[in-house]
Amino acid sequence: MSNAETPAPKSNRRRLLIILAVVVAVGAVIYGLYWLFYARHFESTNDAYVGGDIVAITSRENATVLALHADNTQSVRRGQLLIEFDPISAKVAMDAAEANLAHTVRSVRTDVSKVAQARAQLNAAHVALAQAQSDSRRRASAGDAVSGEELNHARDAVQAAQASVAAAESNLAEAQATVEGTAVARNPDVLAAIARLRQAAITLGHMKLYAPVDGVVAQRTVQIGQQIAPGTPLMAVVPLQSVWIDANFKEGQLEDMRIGQTAEVTADIYGGGVTYHGKIVGLGAGSGSAFALLPPQNASGNWIKIVQRVPVRIALDPKELSEHPLRVGLSVDVSVDVRDSSGPAMASGAAVHDVRGDAGSDGGAQTDALIRRILAENGA
């Protein structure tokens, strides 16, 4: 009885091994089909990070910090006041520029009046010359009735009158050279004074720093009362609504990678529950080692081949970014669909977007109105 029951465990073990072999074979076939028809058309890497612009907020003037209106982690809107500087010196310079413009306008008006004065003097010199010439001709025709000395005096008077005319013409030309061809408001001296006034308005405008873009404040280093030199970094604004992904793929993964191919991105901060969708907008111009401070010199010494990585830039869907914001520098996983390799291998335009801040202002309409008022008040 016991001999008849002995083969049962061996039979069960053989059955289990067969089932296991079948499962492994089916799994291998399924994985082979998956790789053949799907997985081999995707390139993935976890050497990828969130990139973004870091817009520096710096001072353009020597100034003292008077007030701070934003701090790290605070979201700000474009045009929002960030920092105020002490405006006293700038206001004094502005007042001096206004006074200089008014003085220059009055000075130019004086020069204009000198033209009329010089023209009147020239007319008077012409009249005196005509009288002297008439007297000289009358005495010359009188014959012996006029002495030679008197005739010489008449001729000398004509020469003196001619010299007076020449001097008056020179004075008129000099007066006209200063103001001729332009109205008072377009006179070079007045335009130079207006430029100095605008420069003072620009300096006064720099006493307040505004956010150039929408974003989140970071790297604030400035403190109230601090004396700031031009170009000193004060804080940064990071526009998180326009970040991108820099994925570093191995050089062997770039064969079929093209501009416009779609990509899926998962971020460690949200786990696998949130997937971002994007597309390739640019491939790097070289590997990271090529742009290192000390690039490798493979032509000397012993050489060991090291697989290089090239950064690939991926733009993300703005709607998905607004729903699940990312931060610059976060780690992500990237998978690129390379089935469609018909796109260009090099980007032809901007990689992601055009970030544009404020270039500064010369006071705008307010300064223009001030200039017109000064010109009108001083007769220009």
pLDDT in tens, 240-280: 998 999 999 999 899 889 999 999 999 999 988 899 999 99
Q: Please give the pLDDT value at position 42.
A: 84
Q: What is the mean pLDDT of residues 211-218?
A: 94
User: Residue 343 above 70 pLDDT?
Assistant: yes
C-alpha dihedral sign at 100, 102, 108, 111: negative
CATH class of 55-87+204-238: mainly beta
Q: What is the DSSP string of 163-214?
A: HHHHHHHHHHHHHHHHHTTS-GGG-HHHHHHHHHHHHHHHHHHTTEEE-SSS
Provide the whole-model pTM: 0.72
- The domain spans of the chain are 55-87+204-238, 90-184
User: Residue 1 above 50 pLDDT?
Assistant: no
Q: Please give the pLDDT value at position 5.
A: 53
Q: What is the mean pLDDT of residues 179-201?
A: 85
d(CA 112, CA 120) in angstroms, rounded, equals 13
Q: For residue 165, what pLDDT band results from cuts at 50, 70 and 90? A: confident
Q: What is the mean pLDDT of residues 16-41?
A: 77
User: Lowest-confidence range among 70-79, 167-176, 179-188?
Assistant: 167-176
Q: Report how far apart the first and last C-alpha atoms of the chain are (Å, whole number).
A: 131
User: Lowest-confidence range among 211-215, 287-291, 328-332, 350-354?
Assistant: 350-354
* 184 close to 112: Cβ distance less than 8 angstroms: yes
